[in-house]
Amino acid sequence: MMTLIRPIAADRLPELLQLMPKAELHIHIEGSLEPELIFALAQRNGVRFPYANVEALRRAYAFSNLQSFLDIYYAGASVLLTEQDFYDMARAYFVKAAEDHVLHAELFFDPQTHTARGVAMDTVVKGLHRACVDAKAELGVSGLLIMCFLRHLSEEDAFATLEQALPFRDHIVGIGLDSGEVGNPPEKFARVFARCRQLGFRLVAHAGEEGPPAYVWTALDLLKVERIDHGVQSTHDAALMQRLAQDRIALTVCPLSNLKLCVFPDLASHTLGQLLAAGIAATVNSDDPAYFGGYMNDNFTRTFAALPLGAVEAYTLARNSFEASFIEPSAKQAFISQLDESFATFR
């Protein structure tokens, strides 16, 4: 059932966007590592970090495309060594999420970035899982973990990573695919995704961020993913737009990421409104908030300020985020009821 959404004055929209309950489905937890925490962890762990200070690092956050970001993002992650480091990183994110009324978050993590440096899978997953348990108990935010394969590495490497993760099967709800997209199409990972499917993991993949609509098609048809991360290039393919709408495939859109990585020249050119108007289950997410200039609420308020979107779109995006989440049905219903209540009582 769709709640009747009353129109609200434009000047009340930021408050509504902030207060409405929402889920975040596209957050790389390593991308939530703020420069201050990078330097604190570098010092705690005695890791040499190739920037003089927080300001120098922040100045380097001027990206021209995805790869120019990934180079700095992987350097930032090199300060993470202990279980407590992973816990502290995720805890800081959950605190921000709670402030933005995120009731549920699905955290991507990139184990290959860490295992390649000699950090054990056990260290990574235990730290992140403990942060999820505590976030629920202490902040009221529920969290699930999605393990991503790095697509610039081989499928063989992904299989080895899957093997290392199997002892923690119960702590990982799904599998994703990230890192440099162009030249690393979904089909490169068809076998390992088939295996993950057999094992009962939920499946997602980055596709159509910088790559062509063809990558969205193969993510759906060969990898059999349930959601597409980004997917904004889909607007260039009318048949794909129809497919996404008809099959209710959610897109986890990240407006400030797209802006920082020059996918769109400005937020006014963003196609979020077009995706919603086509009946596609788009959601708003932060991707790598420490690098892209904002968490969930920043993404919502800046995008709504730049585009002709209002209360109906706000409700639709929040509702889509719960509908497309991997939480169990009864929890999903409870979240949607909270969302309906917040719109019914907003004055």
From residue 269 to residue 298, what is the string marking binding to Zn ion with x (rule CB under 5 A)? Answer: ------------------x-----------
Residue 100: which of ligand HPA, Zn ion, none does it interact with, CB under 5 to 8 A by kind?
Answer: none
**Distance between CA atoms of residues 128 and 109, nearest Å:** 9
From residue 214 to residue 253, what is the string marking binding to ligand HPA with x (rule CB under 6 A)? Answer: ----------------------------------------
From residue 285 to residue 304, what is the string marking binding to ligand HPA with x (rule CB under 6 A)? Answer: --xx----------------
Q: Is 209 a catalytic residue?
A: yes
Residue 85 binds Zn ion (CB under 5 A): no
Q: What is the distance, to the nearest Å, from the Cα of residue 48 to the centroid of all Cα atoms in its chain? A: 29
**Distance between CA atoms of residues 243 and 278, nearest Å:** 11
CA distances for 2 relative to 136, 238, 249, 251, 340, angstroms: 28, 27, 19, 20, 9
Token pair listed for 46 = 């005695």
In whole angstroms, the minimum distance from the beta carbon of 31 to Zn ion comes to 7
Query: Which of the residues 111 through 130 are near ligand HPA (CB under 6 A)?
Result: none
Contact 256, 302 (CB under 8 A): yes
C-beta of 288 vs 313, nearer to ligand HPA: 288
Task: Classify each residue of 264-278 as buried b or exposed e, where b means 16 or more C-beta atoms within 10 Å of its C-beta.
Answer: eeebeebbbbebbeb
C-beta of 96 vs 340, nearer to Zn ion: 96
Note the helical H segments in the chain: 13-19, 35-45, 54-59, 66-77, 83-99, 111-115, 121-134, 155-165, 190-198, 213-221, 238-246, 255-260, 272-277, 289-292, 296-306, 311-323, 329-345
Contact 251, 234 (CB under 8 A): yes
Residue 34: which of ligand HPA, Zn ion, none does it interact with, CB under 5 to 8 A by kind?
Answer: none
Residue 106 binds Zn ion (CB under 5 A): no
Residue 88 binds ligand HPA (CB under 6 A): no
C-beta of 70 vs 240, nearer to ligand HPA: 70
Residue 66 binds ligand HPA (CB under 6 A): yes
C-beta of 109 vs 335, nearer to ligand HPA: 109
Among candidate residues 34, 209, 210, 313, the one labeled active-site is 209
C-beta of 282 vs 339, nearer to ligand HPA: 282
**Distance between CA atoms of residues 328 and 189, nearest Å:** 27
Residue 143: which of ligand HPA, Zn ion, none does it interact with, CB under 5 to 8 A by kind?
Answer: none
CA distances for 234 relative to 98, 115, 117, 237, 347, angstroms: 32, 34, 36, 6, 37
In whole angstroms, the minimum distance from the beta carbon of 333 to ligand HPA comes to 31
Which of 206, 270, 302, 319 is in the footprint of ligand HPA by CB under 6 A? 206
